[in-house]
Amino acid sequence: MSRVRKADQLYYSAEAAAGVAYLAACPDLEDAKRFLAHHIRQPWWASLCPSVPDIELRYIPKVQFSGTTRERGKFVISCALNRLHEGIIAHEMAHIPTWNPDLSHLDHGRTFALAHLEILRNVADPWLVARFRHELESRGILKHE
């Protein structure tokens, strides 16, 4: 289990170094829900996630916490108010097309990184996406192209 956690920490450090987690703050839960709803209606999302599952964004009264779970056939992205940022929501969205219930939300490997990059290509500036890819490559999560 510690091997998976080390990989997750590498992934989080790549996000921090590139600055992708805190793209833009959503002032409230409704704004965050609009961000999510807008992007999951786009053709690129349907290509990334062909089954187009129901997704709910939920507020949770905790500090420094966000996560994605699957409940009764739908995905639930949970965020505390201090985590309502477009970059964090994009990260959580990437768990949906790469979902593997056996990994208990601890899979931040190559497949997840590629899905996350595809989402960011559609919601962030290209230079930020390139910077993030570089950070992922420098940590061995992705191979240099």
DSSP label at 49? S
Task: Give CA torsion, residues 78, 126, 18, 20, to 10 deg.
Answer: -10
Average pLDDT over residues 124-132: 96
Segment holding 21, helix H or strand E: none
57's tokens: 């964004």
From residue 14, how far is each of 17, 70, 83, 109 by CA, in Å? 5, 26, 18, 12
Q: 3-state class of 10 per DSSP?
A: helix
Joined together, the tokens standing for residue 112 give: 């997840």
| Residue 104 pLDDT | 61
pLDDT band with cut points at 50, 70 and 90 for residue 53: confident
pLDDT at site 3: 46
Task: Report yes or no: 108 and 11 within 8 Å, Cβ to Cβ.
Answer: yes
Give per-residue pLDDT as tens, 65-120: 788 989 988 999 999 878 899 999 999 999 999 988 776 656 788 999 999 999 99
* Terminal-to-terminal C-alpha distance of the chain: 30
Exposed e or buried b for every residue in 7-37, given b needs 16+ CB within 10 A? bbebbeebbeebebbebebbeeeeebbebbe
Strand partners, 76: 56, 69
